[in-house]
Structure 1
Amino acid sequence: MPDMDWAALGRKPLNYAEVGATAGVLPSGYHHIRRTAALGQGRSCFEEAADRLMHWGVQRGAGLRIETSSEVAEEGTLLTIRLGPVLAYGRVVYTIDEPDRRGFAYGTLRGHPESGEELFAVRYDDGSVYVDVVAFSKPATWWSLLGAIPAAVAQRLVTNRYLKALKADA
């Protein structure tokens, strides 16, 4: 992939209005995903998984080709993700940095085949560690609308890969 023009990408607007909605009630009119997987036990498992997550470990572990404007996910970080011939653009819209929960959500930019947001979070709950994926999306282009059924299948497969990406033995 040629060098990304981050300045030009940063001028692209988000292509949806419900920014931050993965933190609460998901908006109507979109396909919704809420999935969780156990990662292991203990504070060190949480810290290691959170560090991998914030360094794009979910996306890389799922086999996606990702380029980012920052090594660590932080609000405003730009990203491009390539899955086969499809190139998608996003921006981190918020991060979570709490003692027992860390993560980030990115929203889709104009030019992304879908419109919506994805949240990736690791949480520590009574000694157990979990990864959560929450998303809402809908087709944003005529060709993604035509391919909605294969896209939904691909989204389920990629979500399953996301959930496995942070396991230490994966």
Structure 2
Amino acid sequence: MDVTYPEVGATREGPLPPGYHHVTRRVRLTAGFAEAVEALAQWRPQRGAGLSVRTEAERAALGVEFASGIGVGPVRLWVPCRIVWIVDRPTEYGFGFGTLPGHVETGEEAFLLSADAAGDVWFEARAFSRPALWWVKLGAPMARLVQARVTDRYAAAMRSL
């Protein structure tokens, strides 16, 4: 199954592509780099934001497919994604995931950790997306609000380490 957009990897390098809604957040963490890497690799931003995660993988890795679910109890909207890039260096770790058929939007989201020369650890989330379904297009302002709120919660989950 292929991702639903052509700009694969655009959250990793260069500007986010035109024609999409863009979201970015960057926060300094109090956790050390190794602790933050473990949390990110084990889906902490998603779970800390109140999302459920379905995957057979214990850790994020290139090609891993997963679904995030938002909702209450058994009433959840599940959105399928695949990790399309990963970086794992001594001072940089992260991955980008793209939407798969069945997702309510089309686009890519990335989580990236970096440690600077002063030893500060930074978490950045960035995304580009647009509605994939007619009813999401109708509710685009609400969808953008939900996306911004969830992105804030990703950052808060990582800051709480």
Q: Is residue 26–residue 124 contact of structure 2 (8 Å, CA) maintained in 1?
A: yes
Q: CA deviation at 1:140?
A: 0.5
Q: 1:33 aligns with which of 8, 23, 33?
A: 23
1:78 maps onto 2:65 in alignment: yes
Secondary structure of 1:151's counterpart equals helix
Q: Tell me how large the CA RMSD over aligned residues is.
A: 1.1
For residues 99 and 124 of structure 1, the distance between their equivalents in structure 2, rounded to whole angstroms, comes to: 9
Structural mapping, 1:63-142, within 5 Å: 63-84=50-71, 85-125=76-116, 126-142=118-134
TM-score normalized with structure 1 length: 0.88
Which residue type is aligned with residue 90 of structure 2?
A: P
Q: CA deviation at 1:166?
A: 1.6
**Correspondence for 2:138:** 146
Q: Deviations over 1:58-110 (max 9, x none)?
A: 11111101111311100000001111232100000011101111011100001
Which residue type is aligned with residue 81 of structure 2?
A: G
Q: 2:11 aligns with which of 7, 22, 39?
A: 22
Q: CA deviation at 1:168?
A: 3.9
Q: 1:159 aligns with which of 133, 146, 151?
A: 151
Q: Is residue 36–residue 113 contact of structure 2 (8 Å, CA) maintained in 1?
A: yes
Determine which structure has the larger helix proportion and give its number: 1
1:55 maps onto 2:4 in alignment: no
**Number of matched pairs:** 155
For residues 68 and 30 of structure 2, the distance between their equivalents in structure 1, rounded to whole angstroms, comes to: 28
What 5-or-longer segments of structure 2 have no aligned partner? none
Identity of aligned pairs, percent?
43
What 5-or-longer segments of structure 1 have no aligned partner? 1-11
Q: Deviations over 1:36-70 (max 9, x none)?
A: 011126xxx11101110011111111110111131
Runs of at least 4 residues of structure 1 off by over 2 A? none
Q: CA deviation at 1:35?
A: 1.1
